[in-house]
Amino acid sequence: MFRIKVPRFWRYREFRYRLSAWKCIHCGEVHFFKPLVCRRCRYREFSEVTLPYTGKLLAYTIVRSPPAGFEEYAPYIIGLIELEDGTRIVSQLADVDPEELKIGMKMEATFKRIREDGVDKIIAYGYKFRPAIQ
């Protein structure tokens, strides 16, 4: 993946840190990054929303052949979660062994380190999901 430069990372922090997203006022389509035009209905007005921090696990896999920049973290788990408002989100899964995962289990968002850039030592943070603590 790309080398991390601060401005490029910083401009997406609302979504990555807080699951803050943009909902089309006309059709309700959720966009993770602020769009100019709704991809579904082409309306141009959006409201800022915070996505639910909980949802259920639809599917998961383990990345065994990582991209550049992720070598030291592999193997890691990638999951597909359906949030409580129906939004689907792809996320790394944390604090869990693959054997403990079950399709349909309740998951919650947590704030984690995603990776460290090897050259400039910039640390990228973002969301990861983990089994909800009951």
Q: Which stretch binds other proteins (CB under 8 A): 18-26, 44-52, 57-65?
A: 57-65
Q: Which of residues 59-88 bind other proteins (CB under 8 A)?
A: 59-71, 73, 76, 78-80, 88
Map tokens 């999951």 to a residue. Answer: 79
Applying CB under 8 A, the site for other proteins has a residue count of 37
Dihedral angle, C-alpha 102, 103, 108, 111, nearest 10 °? 80
Residue 10, Ramachandran bin (φ over 0: left; ψ between -120 and 50: alpha; else beta): alpha
Alpha carbon distance 76, 124 (integer Å): 16
Q: Which of residues 16-55 bind other proteins (CB under 8 A)?
A: 16, 32-33, 39
Alpha carbon distance 48, 77 (integer Å): 29
Closest to other proteins by CB, 71 vs 85, is 71
Closest to other proteins by CB, 103 vs 123, is 103
- Which residues are near other proteins by CB under 8 A? 1-2, 12, 16, 32-33, 39, 58-71, 73, 76, 78-80, 88-92, 103, 114-115, 124, 126, 128
